[in-house]
Amino acid sequence: MDHLLALPNLPPHTQLIDGSLVCVSPQRRFHGTMIDLLVCGLRTTLPPAFKASRQMTVVLDRHNGHEPDVSVVRASAVTGPDQMSYRAEDVVLVVEVVTPESAARDHGTKPRKYAAAGIENFWRVEESGTSGRPVVHVYELDPVTKSYVHAGMHRDRVKLDRPYPRCSPRAAPFPARPRSTPRDHLGGPWPPLRSDARKTRSYRASCPRVAAP
């Protein structure tokens, strides 16, 4: 699989699905924001035995190398910065953020392939049609049927004990602060900035430092 991923001029995020190369469309803001939030949240709650990655190829079989938006793997499966893929048996969670272009694959082809490969946990993130906020559908693998069973639906924050205890990444953007209208020179000074500085420090503290995975 790695030799395929290393082909020159291969478009970014190309996937191998049923033996065919599938190229993805340009990313929407919702898609990128959700990946950032989930990866950041997972990395702040992960025990040392696991690692979280974004958009890394997972080799399911010789005809399928899918690229989930987020994956959690066993730390022992991480070999170094030049690594290009993970084996399905080392993956404990895959997450797909649905876009209009990927909806058919994220609802049908991909979960079936992930389940057949034995990946125990699958999350599908969708944008609510009414509020525009994200909804996370959680699925767990039934070992008898080798298919996923819907285990719950979460908004704002996922709170689970799978794939590891106290797995609770935030799944919604931080609420927007009310926009302050600056007062003119007759009405008084600008609003104080101290509270904003505290929020900035708190947000930075909640995200992991940039380091080698």
Average predicted confidence (pLDDT) for the chain: 79
Query: Could you report how far apart the first and last alpha carbons of the chain are, in Å?
Result: 21
Q: What is the pLDDT of residues 35-55, one digit of tens each?
A: 999 999 999 999 999 999 999
Name every residue whose Cβ is closer than 8 Å to that of residue 116 and which is 6 or more positions away in sequence.
Answer: 60, 146
Instruction: Check residue 11 and give its pLDDT.
Output: 59
CA-atom Rg of the chain in angstroms? 20
The length of the chain is 213
Range with the poorest average pLDDT among 7-21, 48-62, 107-121, 122-136: 7-21
User: Which residue in the block uniquely carries the two structure tokens 């959690």?
Assistant: 72
CB 73 within 8 A of CB 95: no
Distance separating alpha carbons of residues 55 and 51, to the nearest angstrom: 13
Q: What percent of the chain has pLDDT over 70?
A: 67
Instruction: Check residue 193 and give its pLDDT.
Output: 39
Q: What is the pLDDT of residues 188-213, one digit of tens each?
A: 443 443 444 444 444 444 555 544 44
What is the CB neighbour count within 10 angstroms for residue 94?
28
Kind of pairing, strands 15-17 and 57-61? Answer: unpaired
Question: Is residue 174 pLDDT above 70, yes or no?
Answer: no
Partners of residue 134 on adjacent β-strands: 127
Which domains can be identified in the chain, with CATH numbers?
2-173+193-206 (3.90.1570.10)
**What is the maximal distance between C-alpha atoms in the chain?**
73
